């Protein structure tokens, strides 16, 4: 049984069911259409790329003849006459064609040919028994309304597919499927040329890969010193800080070093155009075009509200499982939550699942998180996702003696020790440069630090 409101894709799923019969070695299929005409079905199927040349139709859809010739009934009620005619046609065609698969669209149309709900359910049970005796697998659609609910059909079905469509995209759910295991919950799908594509929700525990735990260098000695050697493979690192402080550049620094080792990285850019990113990297001596040409790096620019979280996770899986990607950077987390379809709570859950999957596969994850305030009270992340990070590397704008500076430090590192002091951070024509420890300043996390009079020096000299 395929349930769903009009336009959710019920008939498209039926087309997949029938056209896939040849793959299973089945040759005879029958489409019983009780509402939409065969001509319209074929036209719609052709627009989606389906070949229906091997499918037989039993077209029981109403045509203009009933209205034009006023085919009403004076002696017998309409259900008594029409039901007998429709039943005979269906029975005769099934016996004649002996189909392996039958798609009835929609079965609830037969409800209007029955005198009451009891007779309709009895008719459906009899119909299903007849098809079962013929060795036929049946898929049918249902039109569920408040006036005519389809609870009775749910009871007689071995499996139920529930299709939905909303502003957050399309989803499919399987609440019932007798005799088999199945993934519960809602899963995203799309309808494009080629039909329906389902993106099952990511279940991290189903994916695991053996990998060698090792420390990954940034290529900047002072940054590695802060991190006790670098970040670890198969962990999640959050690079956090306000806008313009250098978060993305810091993340790419690890990818630059990885490219030299022959490893592949992917950046999913939610907040910055690819062209801008390329220009910035070339300006600071990061050979990003060379990395792209050597396929050591791929940049995916994600457009707003074009993907569900499930579809995005599917793209990431393809990079990891088919392209052997070893570093994934999501730039940034706020953009992820704004660009993907879904509410904040569900997207947070999806991001957690994606990170868990990547860790299980030995992939190093870099999450770029932007805090709201340039200076002021220290904030770890704007999204409240600090629990995801095995390592949290933060950058901060500083105002010192009327001039703007930047600082970098490590707030958390689960896998090893780290340097507790903060250092001056700069992005120059030659890339990332990190100075000595800022031991002469106090109140750095506030963004407006003060000199320690007993150790006062010059931050520029560091």
Q: Which of 73-77, 228-232, 276-280 has the lowest mean pLDDT?
A: 73-77
Mean pLDDT along residues 406-427: 93
> What are the phi and psi torsion angles at 300 (to 5°)?
-110, 115
Residue 214 pLDDT: 94
- Percentage of residues of the chain with pLDDT beyond 70: 91
Structure tokens at 79: 């259900």
Mean pLDDT along residues 411-433: 93
- Is there a cis peptide before residue 106, judged by omega within 30 degrees of 0? yes
Q: Which of 266-275, 353-362, 367-376 has the lowest mean pLDDT?
A: 367-376
Provide the pLDDT confidence category of residue 454 given band limits of 50, 70 and 90: low
Contacts 24+ apart (CB under 8 A), 227-231: 227/391, 227/393, 227/410, 227/413, 227/418, 227/419, 228/413, 228/416, 228/417, 228/418, 228/419, 229/416, 230/254, 231/364, 231/391
Rg of the chain (C-alpha set):
31
The model's pTM: 0.85
- Please state, in angstroms and as integers, the Cα–Cα distance from residue 448 to each residue in 55, 244, 247, following that order: 74, 17, 20
Provide the pLDDT confidence category of residue 458 given band limits of 50, 70 and 90: low
Q: Which of 69-83, 89-103, 327-341 has the lowest mean pLDDT?
A: 69-83
Map out the domains of the chain with their CATH numbers.
2-200 (3.40.50.300), 206-461 (3.40.50.300)
- Residues 6 or more apart from 448 whose CB is under 8 A from it? 375, 398, 399
Would you say 100 and 19 are in contact if contact means Cβ atoms under 8 Å apart? no
Residue 347 pLDDT: 87
Residue for token pair 């999640």: 236
């Amino acid at each position: 049984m395929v349930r769903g409101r009009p336009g959710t894709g019920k008939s498209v799923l039926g087309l997949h069911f029938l056209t896939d019969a040849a793959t299973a070695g089945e040759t005879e299929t029958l489409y019983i259409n009780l509402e939409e005409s065969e001509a319209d079905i074929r036209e719609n199927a052709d627009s989606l790329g389906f070949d229906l040349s091997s499918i037989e139709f039993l077209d029981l859809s109403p045509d203009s003849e009933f209205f034009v010739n006023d085919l009403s009934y004076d002696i017998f009620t309409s259900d008594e006459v029409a039901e007998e005619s429709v039943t005979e046609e269906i029975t005769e065609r099934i016996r004649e064609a002996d189909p392996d698969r039958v798609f009835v669209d929609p079965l609830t149309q037969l409800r209007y040919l029955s005198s009451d709900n009891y007779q309709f359910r009895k008719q459906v049970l009899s119909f299903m028994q007849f098809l079962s005796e013929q060795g036929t697998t049946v898929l049918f659609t249902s039109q569920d309304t408040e006036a005519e609910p389809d609870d009775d059909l749910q009871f007689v079905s071995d499996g139920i597919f529930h299709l939905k469509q909303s502003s957050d995209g399309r989803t499919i759910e399987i609440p019932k499927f007798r005799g088999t295991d199945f993934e519960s919950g809602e899963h995203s799908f799309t309808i494009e040329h080629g039909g329906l594509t389902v993106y099952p929700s990511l279940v991290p525990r189903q994916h695991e890969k053996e990998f060698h735990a090792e420390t990954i260098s940034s290529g900047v000695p002072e940054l590695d010193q802060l991190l006790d050697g670098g970040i670890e493979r198969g962990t999640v690192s959050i690079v956090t800080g306000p806008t313009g402080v250098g978060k993305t550049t810091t993340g790419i620094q690890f990818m630059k070093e990885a490219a030299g080792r022959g490893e592949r990285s992917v950046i999913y850019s939610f907040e910055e155009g690819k062209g801008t990113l390329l220009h910035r990297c070339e300006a600071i001596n990061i050979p990003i075009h060379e990395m792209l040409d050597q396929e050591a790096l791929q940049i995916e620019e994600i457009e707003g509200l074009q993907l569900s979280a499930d579809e995005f996770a599917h793209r990431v899986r393809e990079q990891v499982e088919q392209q052997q990607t070893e570093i994934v950077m999501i730039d940034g987390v706020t953009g992820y939550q704004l660009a993907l379809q879904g509410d904040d709570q569900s997207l947070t859950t999806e991001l957690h699942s994606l990170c868990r999957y990547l860790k299980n596969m030995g992939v190093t994850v870099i999450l770029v998180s932007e805090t709201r305030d340039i200076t002021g009270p220290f904030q770890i992340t704007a999204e409240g996702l600090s629990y995801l990070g095995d390592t949290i590397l933060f950058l901060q704008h500083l105002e010192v003696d009327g001039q703007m500076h930047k600082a970098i430090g490590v707030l958390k590192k689960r896998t090893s020790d780290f340097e507790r002091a903060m250092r001056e951070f700069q992005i120059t024509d030659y890339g990332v440069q990190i100075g000595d420890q800022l031991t002469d300043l106090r109140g750095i996390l506030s963004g407006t630090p003060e000199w320690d009079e007993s150790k006062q020096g010059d931050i520029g000299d560091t």
